[in-house]
Amino acid sequence: MAALFLLLITVASGFALVRAIWPAPWRWSAADPIRLALAPVAGLGLASILFYLVRIAAGLPPMAAAGAMLGAAGVAGVVARKRATAEEAPGHSGKAPFWIWVLLAAAAALSIFTVTMMTSIAPHGEWDAWSVWNLRARFLVRAANMQIPFVALLDWSHPDYPLMVPASIAMLWSACGTESQPIAAWVQALFLISAIAVPFTVLRYLRGAAIGAIAAIAIIGGSTIVRMTAAMYADVPMAAMIVCSGAMAVLALESEPNGRGPAILAGLVAALGAWTKNEGMLFFGVLAGSIAFVAASRAELTARLGKLRDFAIGAAPVLAVVFYFKSGATVTNDLVGSASGTFMGRLADTHRHWVTFWAMAGESLTFGNYVVPPAIVFGVWLGVNRLRRPLRGAWLIPIFAAVAQLAGYYVVYIGGSTDIHWQIDNSVARIMMHVWPLCLFGVFLITAPIEKE
């Protein structure tokens, strides 16, 4: 019971933080579903950073970190109250037919059942969960010396990996006084909820309820993301950070009356992605570049400079924590090493290109275990419904960012120092999942209206 209460406090803290950054009327407003959908990501991000700064960097007791979390939540609530606005821009008024809501409810119920069933069978998750993420959380709670989890003797557990997931779990474990394993599973479930709810609510706000609900059904329909949630890997939180930051970037560019808040939140969440996995640093650069350069006209490109400034403002505090953590790492990332040959030499290896290209292409056709490959389904979808006209540059940011992220992964596979066959076999499905919700968000963002405007 105490654990659930702490999770609710964490989500409430995230909601207060989002409202403090993106002001809204004190009463429930048109964009508050988006703020609530983003609350788990913001709350868990706040918890992980405060735990790292208070418990690890400053060396204070675990309860000091919990006190800092409560204090930060209170400050965010006061700021949100003081910054409350008189009114908020209305969203799209289109409604979805009843049968779409029935399908969405059925898909959500099935995913909840699947995660619950798999978690009951393997409560500690799969390999990466108990050998890296949950293990690191236990180190952070138990270790008397806070440098122990990051020494070279534990290089098999990747001490250089960012701490978003383990530190958020450690904060909750410390606050409730027990290493309750269900907390780790609930944290993963919260990330899954945000990965589905943020694109749903943003599309609902910009395009209408029908488009938003269909997108949510499509995201849940990929069984990989549901299975990885039960496995408790950090890849689901990574997918959540990618789609949430991408969706907020589009909202910032598409809904000017909402002010600077969405752009600041886009930068904050993109930086939290860098605090989640090393791949998040790549996406931070990809998203910043997409905001800057994916424009339909010179005037649109010029208008992006203000949004990039707000994006950087949101990202700066989190990136400072990431760089501080990385500067103290005693172990180099295994992909940065040089096990064989030079980076450029590996890039010239045609065998590596052949293996990587066909592995990624094959996974893109079979991802999610659909009966029909997703590429065919969404190709037909866009062929039937056509593209929204005129096609603005901001609408292309999600798809461009997803493709650029995969291109970055391709280069890492080719130039990486580890055995490329082992690396691909153990990660290609997961890196595809990173961009899966963002790809679907992008597809439905550029779809022509399916209901009356």
Is the predicted pLDDT of residue 123 greater than 80, yes or no?
yes
Phi and psi of 386, rounded to 5°?
A: 65, 175
Which amino acid is located at 174 in the chain? S
Length of the chain: 453
Residues 6+ apart with CB under 8 A from 290: 249, 397, 400, 401, 404
Q: Give the alpha-carbon dihedral of 101, 102, 108, 110, to 10 degrees.
A: -170
Q: How far apart are the first and last CA of the chain?
A: 45
Q: How far apart are CA 349 and CA 328, in angstroms?
A: 34
CA distances 452 to 382, 391, 449, Å, are: 18, 19, 7
Average pLDDT over residues 49-71: 86
C-beta neighbour count of 220 within 10 angstroms: 24
The answer to whether the pTM exceeds 0.85 is: yes
Mean pLDDT of the chain: 85
Average pLDDT over residues 151-180: 80
Find the range with the poorest average confidence among 26-30, 253-257, 275-279.
253-257
Q: How far apart are CA 329 and CA 355, in angstroms?
A: 32
Residues 6+ apart with CB under 8 A from 382: 443, 446, 447
Q: Quick: pLDDT tens for 409-424.
A: 999 888 876 678 888 8
Q: What pLDDT sits at residue 342?
A: 76
Q: Quick: pLDDT tens for 71-112.
A: 999 999 999 989 888 677 777 777 888 899 999 999 899 999
Q: How far apart are CA 415 and CA 338, in angstroms?
A: 10
Angle at 224 between CA 163 and CA 188, to 5 degrees: 35
CA distances 232 to 126, 146, 178, Å, are: 7, 24, 19
CB 288 within 8 A of CB 244: no
Which of 245, 402, 419 has the alpha carbon at shortest distance from 340?
419
Q: What pLDDT sits at residue 94?
A: 75
Is the predicted pLDDT of residue 339 greater than 50, yes or no?
no
Q: Quick: pLDDT tens for 375-384.
A: 676 776 776 6
Q: Would you list the DSSP string of 286-354? A: HHHHHHHH--SSHHHHHHHHHHHHHHHHHHHHHHHHHHHHHHT--S--TTTS-SSS-HHHHHT-HHHHH
Residue 402 pLDDT level (bands cut at 50, 70, 90):
very high
Which of 207, 271, 210, 278 has the alpha carbon at shortest distance from 241?
271
Highest mean pLDDT, choosing among 65-79, 89-103, 172-186, 274-288: 274-288
Find the range with the poorest average confidence among 1-5, 73-77, 111-115, 230-234.
1-5
Residue 452 pLDDT level (bands cut at 50, 70, 90):
low
Q: How far apart are CA 432 and CA 359, in angstroms?
A: 11
Q: What pLDDT sits at residue 338?
A: 46
Q: Quick: pLDDT tens for 283-306.
A: 999 999 999 888 767 777 777 887
Q: What pLDDT sits at residue 169?
A: 93
Q: Quick: pLDDT tens for 313-324.
A: 999 999 999 998
Is the predicted pLDDT of residue 239 greater than 90, yes or no?
yes
Which of 300, 145, 166, 293 has the alpha carbon at shortest distance from 237?
166
Residue 386 pLDDT level (bands cut at 50, 70, 90):
confident
Q: What pLDDT sits at residue 199?
A: 96
Average pLDDT over residues 191-220: 93
Residues 6+ apart with CB under 8 A from 142: none
Residue 148 pLDDT level (bands cut at 50, 70, 90):
low
Q: What pLDDT sits at residue 406?
A: 95
Name the β-bridge partners of 447: 387
CB 171 within 8 A of CB 47: yes
Residue 180 pLDDT level (bands cut at 50, 70, 90):
confident
Name the β-bridge partners of 391: none
CA distances 203 to 38, 198, 206, 362, Å, are: 14, 8, 5, 29
Tokens of 122: 């393997």
Q: What pLDDT sits at residue 451?
A: 64
**Reduced 3-state DSSP string for 369-410:** HCCCCHHHHHHHHHHHHCECCCCCHHHHHHHHHHHHHHHHHH
